[in-house]
Amino acid sequence: MDCKTIPLFFLTLLVVLASGAAVEATVPAIFIFGDSTADVGNNDYLPTMAKANFPYYGIDFPNGTATGRFSNGFNSADEIGMSAF
């Protein structure tokens, strides 16, 4: 490289790095594979007698409505998702 291209190279590198630093990374989803602490179930659409659509399940959620999950509140996967984003 000659003396004229070195400053141009560093200027281009600076512009590229500065423009990349301003962009925030977004994650579209979190996939959590786990046991019962991460999976509380969602069986509203399964043909079974054990349903989780009773009013008590979901009382800690917004609107206090049943969610189809065997939990009355958030689980560990929900907490990770809310704190990460």
When comparing pLDDT for 85 and 31, which is higher?
Answer: 31
What's the confidence (pLDDT) of residue 77?
79
Overall average pLDDT of the 2-14 stretch: 80
> Is the Cβ–Cβ distance between 41 and 53 less than 8 Å?
no
> Is the Cβ–Cβ distance between 80 and 32 less than 8 Å?
yes
Task: Please write the tens of the pLDDT for every residue from 9-59.
Answer: 888 888 877 776 555 667 677 777 766 666 666 767 778 787 777 777 777
What's the confidence (pLDDT) of residue 38?
67
Radius of gyration of the chain (CA): 24
Tell me the whole-structure pTM to 2 decimals. 0.44
